[in-house]
Amino acid sequence: MTYTDWLVLCFTLLGIVLYGIYKSRKNTGIDSYFLAGRSLPWYQVGLSVMATQASAITFIAGPGQAYSDGMRFIQFYLGLPLAVIILCTSFIPNFHRLRVVTAYEYLEKRFDAKSRVLTVVLFLFLRSLSTAISIYAPSIILSTLLHLPTGLTTCLIGLLVISYTVSGGAKAVSSTQFIQMLVIFSGMGLAGYEVFHLLPKGTGFLEAMHVSGTLGKLNIIDFHFDLHNRYTIWSGLIGGLFLQLSYFGTDQSQVGRYLTGSSIAESRLGLILNGFVKIPMQFLILLLGTLVFVFYQWQQPPAYFNQHELNLIVNSRDKSAYNDLEKKRQVLFEAKKVNLDKYILSLRVGESYEIAHRAADLRRAQESFDQNKTSLRKLILKNHPDSELADISDTNYMFLNFVLAYLPHGTIGMIIAIVFLASMGSVASACNSMASCSVVDIYQRWIVKDGSESHYLWVSRGFTIFWGLICVVFALYAGRFGNLLEAVNSLGSLFYGTILGIFLVAFYIRSIQGNAIFYAAIASETLIFIAAHYKWMEYLWLNVFGALLVVLLSFFFQKTIFKQSIKS
Amino acid sequence: MAADTPKPINTTSSIESSLALNQAEKSEENEFKPAYWKRWYFWLAVFLVLQILFFSFFTYYFK
């Protein structure tokens, strides 16, 4: 990082924080603090929803995912447009018409107070842990890049976000997220432009795509139905639909974003914008990863992108084994490059049988190269002092490593700013949503019912600081959660199914009442924990399992145990 | 177990809340008829199908 990069980084971050505070200086009550006075236009709602969903992991791990596993991850988002249609027809009109501040307020109107409290507690527990991971994920990478302790970068990100979320509320979050998304889009566009221009002269986009496809990185759609394959079109459309419905329909960090719309129409259009833009955006992020992969076909990549893990092996007793692997790696890379040049030549002048022949040679060369990396990974794992904590997948480090090594100064500062901004967007929404639930669903409902607007405003600020600090404290211990991406997903899957089931019953099965849904939710949550503990299924399926369980059990309870209560 | 009194969705509070819908929203709802939103949902679904077709083409063309 040069002075130019630091200047770009500090200017972008400070500018956005100050802009957020300036835009929200007229907060007068909890409606304006949590929902920006329900005054935002559709494009601001849409970009805010996108910024909340896109955490730092999206921009760091996204290209890395494509680099290592290809573009099949995009199928995960295919259920999103379908979820948007259901949300626009059922969820948004119900929330808007009842003028609720939180989604869980609706549950008391529909069922009773205890169902509302149960759902709020589930949400607060899930969101605080997930947010801690969202703070920790970029901080561990930034600590590597900036050579600062992880604890310090965790506190830095946490305190930066808390400061402007506390002072500005939802309007600061939405206003800054709007600018954040613009910065993020331009930064990623700039990175894409730079990567493409780093390819050897004369290599066109189509040739780059042929190389990428031949080496298995353009495996975008898979029509095979396989329950053990995480990303197929079917798991994306069905599993993805349930997951996105739970996330956008019942998680206050998202509901709080689209309720800032000035009307049902503005909220709907904001979500529809997300339905149109999300998949192409993910496609471009993953495409960036495949372009970096193509670039590294001509330019030798580092043996391991996670420099910290590599240093451990370089300074260990297995140093000679590492040196042998490194020598072999260089030979394999040169051989692969020869095969690559022959393949490119055949693409330009050869017949189809020759292209197929050269492609097969290139694939074999790539397999040998990958095997070398697998051996290095095993060596790292063997030498790690605590194999449980070894970060053997270095995909999270790939993109930032590339940025630091090859992009021009200024762009580096901007990309690092994107990491901060993406993290700030999702964490600020989460802190704002946890504070809104604490104030509206607990404090205002059970503790001080008739306080003044200014009283609730100050209590809201207090709860934002409280939840922000709780998340930072959790984040300091997040290293013990293991793999972060998996931790976020599996944690969400433990609770989302039950919460979605409660809302589905609320909207679609009018005959079911409070007691039936309350006990069904407790029974379902218990069964989900048992299912997760004994590994009955992959964690993504827990969302479907939990939602269906709540619907079926509440129906059963209503028709049997609580049958009399309807008649009375 | 406490009696579970049926609680229909239109409670007094929710009616009051519904009445709190401001005039702008009412006129807006009249302005945007269901057919308007159905068109949006239709084009969203069409766009999803087009993306799947494009991704399939990408997958098989560059295989």
Q: What is the pLDDT of residue A287?
A: 92
Q: Note whether A8 and A417 are within 8 A (CB).
A: yes
Q: Note whether A83 and A271 are within 8 A (CB).
A: no
Whether A109 and B24 lie within 8 Å, measured CB to CB: no
SS3 A109: helix
Q: What is the pLDDT of residue A552?
A: 95
Task: Please calculate the CA angle A56-A60-A66 and round it to the nearest 5 degrees.
Answer: 135
Residue with tokens 């842990």: A129
Is pLDDT of B54 > 90?
yes
| A chain contacts of residue B41, beta-carbon cutoff 8 Å | 85, 88-89
Q: What is the DSSP string of A168-222?
A: HHHHHHHHHHHHHHHHHHHHHHHHHHHHHHHSPTT--HHHHHHHHHHTT------
Instruction: Specify the amino acid at residue A411.
Output: T
Residue with tokens 């270095």: A394
Q: What is the pLDDT of residue A80?
A: 93
Per residue in A296-309, is it b (16+ CB within 10 Å) or e — as a string?
ebeeebebbbbbeb
| A chain contacts of residue B61, beta-carbon cutoff 8 Å | 213
Rounded CA separation A47/A241 (Å): 21
Q: What count of other Cβ atoms lies within 10 Å of the Cβ of residue A197?
A: 8
Rounded CA separation A7/B20 (Å): 49
Is pLDDT of B4 > 50?
no
Is pLDDT of B27 > 70?
no
Residue with tokens 């600061």: A172
**Domain coordinates in residue numbering, chain B:** 33-63
ipTM above 0.90, yes or no: no
Using a CB–CB cutoff of 8 Å, tell me whether A263 touches chain B.
Answer: yes
Least CA distance to B49: which residue of chain A?
A78
Q: Note whether A414 and A6 are within 8 A (CB).
A: no
Structure tokens at A480: 């013990």
Whether B47 and A276 lie within 8 Å, measured CB to CB: yes
Is pLDDT of B5 > 70?
no
| pLDDT higher at B56 or A148 | B56
The closest CB to that of A515, out of B4, B29, B40, belongs to B4
| pLDDT higher at A560 or B18 | A560
CA A469, A473, A476, A480 torsion: positive or negative?
negative
SS3 A64: helix
Whether A110 and B52 lie within 8 Å, measured CB to CB: no
Q: What is the pLDDT of residue A451?
A: 79
Rounded CA separation A24/A445 (Å): 26
Q: What is the pLDDT of residue A567?
A: 45
The closest CB to that of B52, out of A210, A221, A268, belongs to A221
Rounded CA separation A106/A102 (Å): 8
Q: What is the pLDDT of residue A52?
A: 79
Q: Note whether A30 and A102 are within 8 A (CB).
A: no
**Domain coordinates in residue numbering, chain A:** 3-296+405-451, 307-390
Asked if CATH classification 1.20.1730.10 holds for the domain at A3-296+405-451, the reply, yes or no, is yes
Our CA-based measurement puts residue A138 at a distance from the nearest CA of chain B, in whole angstroms, of 30
Instruction: Specify the amino acid at residue A513.
Output: Q
- Residues A186, A188, A193, A195, Cα dihedral to 10°: 160
Q: What is the pLDDT of residue B24?
A: 45
Q: What count of other Cβ atoms lies within 10 Å of the Cβ of residue A279?
A: 22
The closest CB to that of A210, out of B6, B41, B62, belongs to B62
Give the helix, strand, coil percentages of chain B, each rounded to 5: 70, 0, 30
Nearest in space to A400 (alpha carbons), one of A70, A63, A147, A73: A63
| B chain contacts of residue A112, beta-carbon cutoff 8 Å | 7
The closest CB to that of B18, out of A98, A212, A565, belongs to A98
Mutant choice from B55, B57, B61 vs A, greatest count of A C-beta within 10 A: B55
Least CA distance to B11: which residue of chain A?
A109
Q: Going residue by residue through chain A, which has 568 residues, state the pLDDT in tens, using 9 for 90 and above.
A: 778 888 888 887 778 777 777 766 665 566 666 666 676 788 888 888 887 777 666 777 788 888 888 898 898 899 999 999 999 998 888 888 877 888 888 888 888 888 889 988 888 888 888 888 778 877 766 776 677 777 888 888 788 777 767 766 566 666 677 777 777 777 778 888 888 888 888 888 888 999 999 998 898 898 888 767 778 888 888 878 888 888 898 888 888 888 888 888 889 999 999 999 999 998 999 999 999 999 999 998 888 887 777 777 877 788 888 888 889 999 999 999 999 989 988 888 878 888 888 989 999 999 999 898 888 888 887 777 665 555 556 777 788 788 888 888 777 787 777 777 777 777 877 888 888 888 888 888 888 888 787 888 888 888 888 888 888 888 887 766 555 555 666 777 788 889 999 999 988 888 888 889 999 999 999 999 998 888 787 666 788 889 999 999 999 999 888 776 554 4
Q: Is A350 exposed, middle or buried (0-12, 13-18, 19+ CB in 10 A)?
A: middle
Q: What is the pLDDT of residue A31?
A: 64
Helix A514-533 / helix A541-559 crossing angle, nearest 10 deg: 140
